[in-house]
Structure 1
Amino acid sequence: MKLFYAFLLSGCASLQVYAQKLPDIQSSNVIAPNTVRVDGRNLEWNNFSAENKRTGLLYTISNDDKNLYLALKAISNETITKIFAGGISFSINTKGRKREDDANTITYPTITRNNVNRFGAGQGAQNRQRMGQNRPEQSQEQRDSATFEQRKTQLAAIKEIKIKGFNVADSLISIYNEYGIKAIGKMDEQKAYFCEIAIPLSTLELSVNDKKEIAYQIKLNGRQGGNFPMRANAGGGFGGGGNNRGGFGGGNNNAAQQDLMVATDFWGKYIIQK
Structure 2
Amino acid sequence: MKLFYAFLSFYCIGFHVYAQKLPDIQTTRLAAPSSVRIDGKNQEWDGFAAENKRTDLLYTLANDDKNFYLAIKATNNETITKIMAGGISFTINTKGKKKDDEGFTVTYPFLARANAANRLGGAGGQNRQRIGQNRVEQTQAQRDSMALVQRKTQLAAIKEIKVSGFKSISDSLVSIYNEYGIKAVGKMDEKGAYIYELAIPFIIMDVDVSEIKAFAYQIKLNGRPEIGNFAMRANAGGGGFRSGGARGGFGGGNVNLARQDLMVATDFWGKYVFQK
Q: Which residue of 2 aligns with 1:263?
A: 265
Cα offset, 1:47, TM superposition: 1.4
The 1:9/1:203 distance shift into structure 2, 3 A limit, reads same
Q: Which residue of 2 aligns with 1:17?
A: 16
**Is residue 186 of structure 1 aligned with residue 192 of structure 2?**
no
- Structure 2: distance between partners of 1:119 and 1:49: 35
The 1:245/1:169 distance shift into structure 2, 3 A limit, reads closer
Structure 1 letter corresponding to 2:260: Q
Which residues of 2 match residues 1-274 of structure 1 at below 5 A? 9-20=8-19, 21-112=21-112, 114=114, 117-118=117-118, 129-135=128-134, 136-167=136-167, 168-225=169-226, 227-230=229-232, 231-232=234-235, 233-234=239-240, 239-241=245-247, 246-247=252-253, 253-274=255-276
The 1:46/1:76 distance shift into structure 2, 3 A limit, reads farther
- 3-state DSSP of counterpart to 1:38: coil
Cα offset, 1:31, TM superposition: 0.8
Segment drifting more, 218-227 vs 191-200: 218-227
- Structure 1: distance between partners of 2:161 and 2:251: 30
Segment drifting more, 143-152 vs 124-133: 124-133
Q: Is the 8 A contact 2:92 2:103 kept in 1?
A: yes
Cα offset, 1:235, TM superposition: 6.4
- 3-state DSSP of counterpart to 1:154: helix
The 1:138/1:205 distance shift into structure 2, 3 A limit, reads same
Structure 2 letter corresponding to 1:153: T
- 3-state DSSP of counterpart to 1:148: helix
Q: Is the 8 A contact 1:32 1:64 kept in 2?
A: yes
- 3-state DSSP of counterpart to 1:255: helix
- 3-state DSSP of counterpart to 2:29: coil
Q: 1:206-250 CA deviation, whole Å, 9 max, x = no partner? A: 3442242110000000014475243344569x94448x99425xx
Structure 2 letter corresponding to 1:199: I
The 1:188/1:118 distance shift into structure 2, 3 A limit, reads closer
Structure 2 letter corresponding to 1:185: G
Q: 1:77-102 CA deviation, whole Å, 9 max, x = no partner? A: 01000000100000001110000111
- Structure 1: distance between partners of 2:121 and 2:214: 49
Q: 1:133-165 CA deviation, whole Å, 9 max, x = no partner? A: 222111111111101001001111111100001
Q: Is the 8 A contact 2:143 2:245 kept in 1?
A: no
- 3-state DSSP of counterpart to 2:100: coil
The 1:239/1:4 distance shift into structure 2, 3 A limit, reads same
Identity of aligned residues (%): 55
Q: Is the 8 A contact 1:91 1:103 kept in 2?
A: yes
Cα offset, 1:254, TM superposition: 2.8
Q: 1:156-208 CA deviation, whole Å, 9 max, x = no partner? A: 11111000011111000011111100000000111000000000111112344
- Structure 1: distance between partners of 2:159 and 2:126: 32
The 1:157/1:127 distance shift into structure 2, 3 A limit, reads closer
Q: Is the 8 A contact 1:93 1:215 kept in 2?
A: yes
Aligned residue pairs: how many? 266
Cα offset, 1:269, TM superposition: 0.5
- Structure 2: distance between partners of 1:16 and 1:47: 19
Cα offset, 1:10, TM superposition: 4.5
Q: Which runs of 5+ in 1 are unaligned?
A: none
